[in-house]
């Protein structure tokens, strides 16, 4: 699986939405992405890439695009 | 009875502050609440659509201080469910966020302040209110059930005073909102802090957002409350590494926290000069009944503590006898002035008086240890707490059976509901139905297909046999 596939899968599985709705998706845009959903999502992403996100990055992760930006940082090294 | 809060006493102090830079002093709070009350000709019922915003708290304060009875709902309650409640209770007014006004066309806006508006419903009918009735609160989250707990002015004042005593609250406190104000626990934080002249930091942001923590740090929040799931989130956030010098107290209620987490937070608190206070309560007792003194938090891990000041606990066995032996399970019964009047399920119930006379059978099964500390060990009725919200499993079964006419059984543990069905084809539909009804995050619900729902000879479901399917 490519990194983008892993990343999208984490969203699709934890927030129960279809892939075509991911672009532009923001925290609290849909009911499932509330604080509970956010925790599920973060756990799924950490599992998929075998990383541990910093507190600051977890609370900064407020959109589909922002998440990619965070994962691309040096300490996580996920290239899309 | 006098007014609940003596707001005059703290006139120059800031009562409310939000994350948009707005703040309201106690003096200003008195002025605005008086104005709101002036617009309402006499004691009546008002629906308050709550948010953690200044306008919402101001409206609430106005109604309680001026003996107008608010029924508190979450502002995101589905329109159909809200309509249903309006048709059941015929409130004279609504106090709603300004941005929701267009949903109520045909109602007159009679006053607006701090992003909230007072709307006259124009209903030609209303129900008489019992003199001591102070407010109406739901027991469940946002299911739109017409069942409300009737709390009296004495209930609100007594419980808030007790909380002030055992948490030792004073005017230097700055609690930050982490729970909805239409939820009994969230409301108890507002009630108790207005009593001591504290500054309440209100925000709609969640602890998964940077803006929340920035507000927390900038304003120097001193406390917050959380349900068990809140502490799981904080654990995930590696909260222990955050630098929060202003934080003094973390309280926990809304269900039993995992013992491992209880220990982690108790230790963190002990090592960092903060207090972690596990508490126990129900909406039927206004909010609080028990608390674990913070200095015992590590030693008495897993306990919900002792009775709050002014209350009394006892355990009753199946024959109705009082249990005196430690480590013996019985139903927990609470006695105190914060035991609410009873329930309302329709407009005609608003005139009802006190049906409980200060005694509440909690429905929780408990034990006490040699030192008299109480431990919740089970529940008499079949319900789960999901993210702090009470969800009745028999009710869920009734709803599913009514909708789909299938054989099924719902069961589970707190924060995880399992719905057992025998027809694989319907799993997804059933799951979506339950999520839609409870309005809780889908992560809590799982449908499991099994050959047959286990039952005894008389046809009663054997829930115990379903436990082997729970995920560990």
DSSP string, B425-462: GGHHHHHHHHHHHHT--GGGEEEEE-SS--B-TTS-B-
Query: Given CB atoms, is A55 within the 8 Å cutoff of chain B?
Result: yes
Task: Tell whether the model's pLDDT for residue B141 goes beyond 70.
Answer: no
For residue A63, the chain B residue with the least C-alpha distance is B209
Confidence of residue A17 (pLDDT cuts 50, 70, 90): very high
Give the β-pairing of B93-97 and B249-252: unpaired
A54, part of any domain = yes
Task: Tally Cβ neighbours within 10 Å of residue B70.
Answer: 24
CB distance B36 to B151 below 8 Å: no
Contact criterion met (CB < 8 Å) for A32 and B439: no
Residue B247 burial (10 A CB sphere; 0-12, 13-18, 19+): buried
What residue spans in chain B does CATH classification 3.30.300.30 cover?
A: 384-469
CATH of the domain at A17: 1.10.1200.10
Mean pLDDT (whole number) for B392-402: 90
d(CA A63, CA A77): 19
DSSP assignments along B353-403, one per residue: --SSTTEEEEEEEEEE-TT--EEEEEESS-EEEETTEEEEHHHHHHHHHHH
CB distance B328 to B149 below 8 Å: no
Structure tokens at B1: 């009875």
- Which pLDDT does position B178 carry in this prediction? 96
H/E segment holding residue B307: strand B306-307
- CA torsion B396-B398-B402-B403 (nearest 10°) is 0
Q: What is the pLDDT of residues B231-269, one digit of tens each?
A: 999 999 999 999 999 999 999 999 999 999 999 999 999
Nearest to B229 among A16, A32, A36 (CB): A36
Distance spanning both ends of chain A, measured CA to CA = 12
- Which pLDDT does position B424 carry in this prediction? 84
Domain count, chain A: 1
CB distance B407 to B397 below 8 Å: no
- Which pLDDT does position B142 carry in this prediction? 56
CB distance B188 to B159 below 8 Å: yes
Distant-in-sequence, close-in-space partners of B452: CB < 8 Å, separation ≥ 6: B422
- Taking alpha carbons only, the member of B366, B419, B428 closest to residue B393 is B419
Structure tokens at B73: 């709902």
Q: What is the pLDDT of residues B325-384, one digit of tens each?
A: 999 999 999 999 999 999 999 999 999 999 999 999 999 999 999 999 999 999 998 989
Range of the domain at A25: 3-71
**Chain B residues inside the 8 Å CB shell of A39:** 208, 232-233, 236
Contact criterion met (CB < 8 Å) for A16 and B442: yes
Confidence of residue B448 (pLDDT cuts 50, 70, 90): very high
What residue spans in chain B does CATH classification 3.40.50.12780 cover?
A: 7-378
Task: Tell whether the model's pLDDT for residue B1 goes beyond 60.
Answer: no
**Chain A residues inside the 8 Å CB shell of B213:** 59
Q: What is the CA radius of gyration of chain B?
A: 22
- Taking alpha carbons only, the member of B368, B353, B461, B372 closest to residue B408 is B461
A77, part of any domain = no
Structure tokens at B415: 């924060």
**Average model confidence (pLDDT) for chain B?**
95
**Chain A residues inside the 8 Å CB shell of B209:** 27, 59, 62
Query: Given CB atoms, is A18 within the 8 Å cutoff of chain B?
Result: no
Q: What is the pLDDT of residues B427-442, one digit of tens each?
A: 999 999 999 888 899 9
Classify B106 in phi/psi space as left (phi over 0), alpha (psi -120 to 50) or beta.
left
Question: Mean pLDDT lowest for which of A54-68, B138-152, B167-181, B319-333?
Answer: B138-152
CB distance B198 to B170 below 8 Å: yes
Confidence of residue B140 (pLDDT cuts 50, 70, 90): low
d(CA B19, CA B457): 60
Q: What is the pLDDT of residues B269-298, one digit of tens each?
A: 999 999 999 999 999 999 999 999 999 999
CATH architecture of B384-469: 2-Layer Sandwich (3.30)
> Sign of the CA dihedral A7, A9, A11, A17?
positive
Q: Quote the crossing angle between the two packed helices B153-167 and B184-196, to the nearest 10°.
A: 70
Query: Given CB atoms, is A13 within the 8 Å cutoff of chain B?
Result: no
A34, part of any domain = yes
d(CA B125, CA B127): 7
**Chain B residues inside the 8 Å CB shell of A67:** none
Task: Tell whether the model's pLDDT for residue B217 goes beyond 70.
Answer: yes
For residue B432, the chain A residue with the least C-alpha distance is A16
- Which pLDDT does position B421 carry in this prediction? 95
A80, part of any domain = no
Q: If DSSP codes are grouped into helix, strand and coil, which group holds residue B349?
A: helix
Integer CA distances (angstroms), B294 to B171, B243, B325, in order: 20, 21, 25
**Which residue(s) pair with B312 in the sheet?**
B335
Query: Given CB atoms, is A42 within the 8 Å cutoff of chain B?
Result: yes
d(CA B269, CA B266): 5
Query: Given CB atoms, is B237 within the 8 Å cutoff of chain A?
Result: yes
CB distance B156 to B4 below 8 Å: yes
d(CA B273, CA B261): 18
Give the β-pairing of B14-18 and B200-202: parallel
Q: Find the angle CA(B298)-CA(B302)-CA(B305) to the nearest 5 degrees.
A: 80
Q: If DSSP codes are grouped into helix, strand and coil, which group holds residue B42?
A: coil
- Which pLDDT does position B143 carry in this prediction? 66
Confidence of residue A18 (pLDDT cuts 50, 70, 90): very high
Q: What is the pLDDT of residues B72-100, one digit of tens each?
A: 999 988 888 899 999 999 999 999 999 99
- Which pLDDT does position B56 carry in this prediction? 98
Question: Mean pLDDT lowest for which of B302-311, B322-331, B424-433?
Answer: B424-433
Nearest to B208 among A16, A32, A35 (CB): A35
- Taking alpha carbons only, the member of B359, B277, B355, B279 closest to residue B311 is B359
Confidence of residue B388 (pLDDT cuts 50, 70, 90): confident
- Which pLDDT does position B74 carry in this prediction? 93
**Which residue(s) pair with B47 in the sheet?**
B71, B94
Task: Tell whether the model's pLDDT for residue B465 goes beyond 70.
Answer: yes
Task: Tally Cβ neighbours within 10 Å of residue B38.
Answer: 11
- Which pLDDT does position B303 carry in this prediction? 96
What topology is assigned to B7-378 in CATH?
Answer: Rossmann fold (3.40.50)
Confidence of residue B389 (pLDDT cuts 50, 70, 90): confident
- φ/ψ of residue B150, rounded to 5: -95, 110
């Amino acid at each position: 699986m490519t990194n983008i596939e892993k990343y999208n899968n984490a969203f699709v599985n934890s927030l129960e939405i279809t892939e075509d709705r991911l672009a532009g998706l923001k925290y609290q845009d849909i009911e499932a992405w509330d604080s509970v959903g956010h925790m599920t999502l973060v756990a799924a992403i950490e599992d998929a890439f075998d990383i541990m996100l910093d507190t600051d990055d977890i609370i900064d992760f407020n959109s589909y695009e922002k998440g990619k930006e965070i994962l691309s940082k040096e300490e996580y090294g996920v290239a899309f | 009875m006098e007014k609940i809060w003596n707001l005059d006493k703290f006139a120059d102090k800031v009562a409310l502050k939000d994350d948009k830079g707005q703040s309201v002093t106690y003096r200003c709070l008195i002025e605005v609440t008086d104005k709101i009350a002036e617009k309402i000709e006499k004691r009546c019922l008002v629906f308050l659509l709550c948010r953690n915003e200044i306008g919402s708290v101001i409206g609430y304060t106005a109604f309680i201080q001026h003996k107008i009875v608010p029924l508190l709902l979450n502002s995101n309650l589905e329109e159909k469910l809200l309509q249903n409640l309006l048709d059941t209770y015929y409130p004279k007014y609504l106090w709603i966020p300004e941005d929701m006004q267009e949903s109520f066309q045909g109602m007159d806006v009679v006053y607006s302040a701090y992003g909230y508006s007072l709307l006259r419903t124009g209903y030609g009918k209303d129900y008489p209110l019992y003199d001591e009735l102070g407010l109406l609160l739901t027991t469940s989250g946002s299911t739109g059930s017409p069942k409300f707990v009737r709390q009296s002015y004495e209930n609100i004042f007594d419980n808030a005073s007790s909380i002030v005593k055992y948490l030792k609250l004073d005017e230097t406190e700055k609690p930050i909102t982490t729970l909805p104000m239409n939820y009994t626990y969230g409301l108890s934080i507002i009630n108790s802090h207005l009593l001591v002249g504290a500054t309440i930091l209100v925000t709609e942001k969640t602890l998964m957002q940077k803006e929340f923590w920035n507000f927390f740090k900038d304003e120097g929040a001193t406390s917050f409350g959380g349900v068990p799931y809140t502490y799981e989130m904080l654990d995930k956030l590696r909260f222990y590494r955050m630098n929060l010098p202003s934080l003094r107290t973390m309280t926990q209620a809304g269900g039993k926290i995992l013992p491992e987490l209880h220990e982690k937070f108790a230790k963190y608190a002990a090592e960092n000069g903060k207090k972690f206070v596990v508490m126990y309560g129900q909406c039927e007792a206004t909010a609080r009944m028990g608390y674990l003194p913070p200095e015992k938090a590590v030693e008495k891990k897993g306990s919900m503590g002792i009775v709050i000041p002014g209350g009394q606990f006892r355990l009753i066995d199946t024959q109705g006898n009082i249990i005196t032996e430690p480590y013996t399970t019985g139903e927990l019964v609470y006695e105190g002035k914060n035991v609410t009047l009873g329930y309302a399920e329709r407009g005609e119930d608003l005139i009802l008086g006190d049906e409980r006379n200060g005694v509440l059978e909690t429905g929780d099964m408990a034990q006490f240890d040699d030192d008299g500390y109480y431990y919740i060990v089970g529940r008499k009725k079949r319900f789960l707490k999901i993210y702090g919200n009470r969800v009745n499993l028999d009710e869920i079964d009734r709803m599913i059976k009514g909708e789909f006419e299938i054989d099924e059984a719902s069961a589970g543990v707190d924060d995880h509901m399992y719905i057992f069905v025998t027809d694989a084809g319907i799993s997804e539909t059933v799951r979506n139905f339950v999520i839609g009804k409870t309005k809780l995050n889908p992560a809590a619900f799982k449908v499991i297909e099994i050959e047959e729902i286990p039952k005894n000879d008389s046809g009663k479901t054997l829930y115990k046999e379903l436990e082997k399917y729970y995920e560990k």
